[in-house]
Structure 1
Amino acid sequence: MKTRAITGFIFVLVMLASMLSGPYVFIGFYMFLSLLCLIEFFTLIKTTGLRPHRTIGYAAALIIFASIVGRFFIEFESKWLLINIPLFFGIFIRELYKKSKLPFSNIAYTFLGLIYAVVPFIFFVSFSFISGTFNYHLALAFFIMLWCNDTGAYLFGVKFGKTRLFERHSPKKSWEGFIGGILTCLLAGYIISIYFTEYPYYHWLAMALIISCFGTLGDLVESMFKRSIDIKDSGKMLPGHGGVLDRFDGLLLSAPVIFVYLYLITY
């Protein structure tokens, strides 16, 4: 427990520093985190005997991330995304030279790694620039609500949890914990609306509801993934917490939906 608390404290400080240090550090940090998540994902897939195309996947991840978020600073033409086309087809061609019994599984998991571990971070960074300039309030509020949801779900689940939420994938989660997480997240969203006035309170409450629901689903999806390959933690990078994917599983589904919501109410 002590190790978990120390790791969590340092982790929160690093996260805050990344948001308060300006847009360049912010983007660089989350690009790095997305790459760590992709490395973990490919490493886990290798334990099943499959061989995703890691080098091409890493190169594509960096190019996609840089070409999408780069437009926030310079007139970065979207045509640079076309660089990924030969990389993507290179995955198929490279598989021709590998002696694999499941070539299309290798190809599929390479693409899935990009979609699952990298694209959500691109949406997270993008909604922090949704107004046209970098606003760390959105990133900070997102994580505050996500952490409050996790904390509320845990506390309510321990105290009142009786009805299993999705026992097949996560035996410890309960409906009582899920509802407690939503209530805690909504409270956090309302308090945030008092200090961060970019949006009226009802938009913050809507975002809290989205984060709570899709954050929980993201956790369940990661649990489903880990159970499918019979592992407990995605890695050992964060002592007491597991891997990077374990720490950011709530972001992976909620960040894209938050981006869509903010885009719809902004434009």
Structure 2
Amino acid sequence: MSNKISTLSNLQQRVIVGVLGVTVFIGAICFSEWTYFLLFLGLTLLGIAEFYRLMEVQGILPNKQAGLVVGALFFIAVFLIEKEMLAMEVLFLIVPLCFLVFILELYRKKPLPFTNIAFTLMGVAYVAGPFGLLHLLGYLKGEYSWQPILGVMLLIWAADTGAYIFGKNFGKHKLLERVSPGKTWEGWAGGTALAVVVGYVLALFFTDLALYQWIGVAVLIAVFGVLGDLVESLLKRSLGVKDSGTLLPGHGGILDRFDSLLMAVPFIVAFLKVF
């Protein structure tokens, strides 16, 4: 099937993969906590591996195995803690695991050892950190609920759609041309407006969060989602690559598709936990 998709135009690829992706996401998030868990565990591992492959473009050699193990254990531990199957103290074990990365580098005999260590841990923090925090949204009320997670995804899609439509039709003033020439302030304003409207609609049907919380989440996504996109664009520019990967035909890689989510989730969790 992937060979057939690769023969289609970029637009056709984007539409087909987009529809399939949305179907899988909504189904996995809503069906059960375990299908949600497996979906995002897979994304976590693929995202970390993709990040490490990007680093190799510059001759950096992260410890892939160690990073994948630490990232997976963090993701799994947070999920089981939120399910009250593990004690919170288990997270303290992640800290010595991170320091084991330093020790392992002694025996790898690779050039730039401390650069390798830094980017090994950065891959865990950048990908596994936000995906792990996503569990806190799913268990805001003590039991798993798909509403906050799906709501965040819908708001990100709304912000992206609004930014694309308004940017294409009214965009004149560049948001940060040095990093992403296509993004404009008009597009950002349109994305923000659509996200806020969708946030209001979500509050009518998704009752896990109050209206002010949905609006707050929409604003945070509008702000930090686009910043996440810019950060990932900066990463790709610094490495001289167009896409972070080729896993999703017409859409690039995992980091290309989830850059907004990765940057926005920590701020969303902090907002909902405090307010």
Q: Which stretch shows the higher mean deviation, 190-199 or 114-123?
A: 190-199
Partner of 2:150: helix, strand, or coil? Answer: helix
TM-score by length of 2: 0.93
Deviation at residue 198 of structure 1 after TM alignment: 2.6
State how far apart, in whole Å, the 1-side matches of 2:119 and 2:238 are.
14
What is the SS of the residue equivalent to 2:272? Answer: helix
SS at match of 2:90: helix
Q: Shift of residue 75 of structure 1?
A: 3.8
Contact 2:148/2:208 (<8 A) preserved: no
Q: Take 1:67 and 1:141, find their aligned partners in 2: how far apart are those partners?
A: 24
Query: Given the alignment of the two structures, is residue 173 of structure 1 paired with residue 187 of structure 2, yes or no?
Result: no
| Percent of aligned pairs with the same amino acid | 38
Tell me what 1:54 maps to: 64
Native 8 Å contact 2:220 2:268 kept in 1: yes
Other structure's SS at 2:84 match: coil
AA aligned opposite 2:210? P
Alignment of 1:1-267 (within 5 A): 1-265=11-275
State which drifts further: 251-260 or 90-99: 90-99
More off after superposition, 78-87 vs 136-145: 78-87
Aligned to 2:175, the other structure's residue is in SS state strand
User: 120-129 vs 148-157, which deviates more?
Assistant: 120-129
Return the alpha-carbon distance in structure 2 between the equivalents of residues 119 and 60 of structure 1: 11
Partners of 1:26 and 1:111 in 2: CA distance: 25
SS where residue 108 of structure 2 aligns? coil
Amino acid at match of 1:60: V
Give me the whole-angstrom Cα distance separating, in 2, the residues matched to 1:102 and 1:171: 33
CA distance in 2, matches of 1:84, 1:194: 40
Shift of 1:131: 1.0
* Deviations 1:221-267 (CA, angstroms, capped at 9, x unpaired): 000111111100000000000001100011011111111111112xx
Distance 1:70 1:28 in 2: 13
Compare 121-130 and 243-252 and name the one that shifted more: 121-130
Distance 1:56 1:242 in 2: 25
Distance 2:89 2:148 in 1: 29
SS of 1:97 mapped into structure 2: helix
Distance 1:85 1:122 in 2: 15
2:167–2:183 contact (8 Å) kept in structure 1: yes
Q: How far apart, CA to CA, are the structure 2 residues paired with 1:210 and 1:33?
A: 23
Amino acid at match of 1:80: V
- Deviations along 1:64-101, one digit per CA (max 9) or x if unpaired, are 11111101223412343344344323221222233334
Q: Which runs of 5+ in 2 are unaligned?
A: 1-10
Kindly state the Cα deviation for residue 193 of structure 1 after the two structures are TM-superposed. 1.1
Moved beyond 6 Å, runs of 4+: none
Contact conserved, 1:120 with 1:255, CA < 8 A, in 2? yes
Residues 216 and 94 of structure 1, relative CA distance in 2, 3 Å threshold: same
**TM-score if structure 1 supplies the norm length?**
0.95
